[in-house]
Amino acid sequence: MAKPGLSAAAVLPLLLGFLSVSSVRADTLLSAPLNVTIREIEVNSAVVTWEISEGDPVIGFAITQQKKDVRMLRFIQEVNTTTRSCALWDLDEDTEYIVHVQSISMGGSSPPSEPVLFRTPKESEKLASKSPDEVTMEEVGQAAQLRAGELIIIVVVLIMWAGVIALFCRQYDIIKDNEPNNNKDKAKNSSECSTPEHPQGGLLRSNV
């Protein structure tokens, strides 16, 4: 009696299907991001950077951000990008955070990177670490904008004053030019209002 079993014709399709699935998984498998680093750590923000293995068909990234000893997670994901950095915002001061990074491809996500732990500074520590003579580029830009605004205001005020002075001088010249005419008119009016004299030099007298 023949033992039951699968024929070669039945086994071949299963074997080919298994090999095709294995090849697809091998092609789409991504390596975890490398050299994950936290930079530009501020009181309420930081920047995470990473690298990827050469040849990985990466189309995006996913970041998990978690406070140490707290289960709540923040998940950040972005696709259709080749960037290798991401800003972390709205952080709490003097707090430890754990960050993982994953690469994303058309076939799925990579394993998470090694966890990176960092702490945000206190506001007082950040201010104390900054020397009095240290000036950031942002502060330089703000100072330049303030100076430019002040110069514009000064120029506008000077132009207004120049216009007022020019108007005053013009009115003064008009008044000064009209003074001889006014004097002549006054003299003429006073002569017309005076007592008429006799043609021979005597005063006219009325006959009683």
pLDDT in single tens digits along all 208 residues of the chain: 444 444 544 544 454 454 444 434 444 578 999 999 999 999 999 999 999 998 899 999 999 999 988 888 999 999 999 899 999 999 999 999 999 999 999 989 999 999 999 999 998 877 776 655 555 566 667 777 778 888 899 989 999 989 899 888 888 878 877 776 666 666 666 655 555 555 555 444 555 4
- Angle at alpha carbon of residue 18, lines to 15 and 21, rounded to 5°: 150
Q: What is the pLDDT of residue 172?
A: 81
Torsion angle of the four alpha carbons 18, 21, 23, 26, in this order, in degrees rounded to the nearest 10:
-120
Torsion angle of the four alpha carbons 76, 80, 86, 89, in this order, in degrees rounded to the nearest 10:
-50
Q: What is the pLDDT of residue 196?
A: 53
One-letter amino acid of 85: S
Q: What is the pLDDT of residue 16?
A: 43
| Domains detected in the chain | 34-127 (2.60.40.10)
Question: What whole-number distance in Å separates Cα of residue 27 and Cα of residue 147?
Answer: 59
CA-wise closest residue to 56 among 2, 18, 111? 111
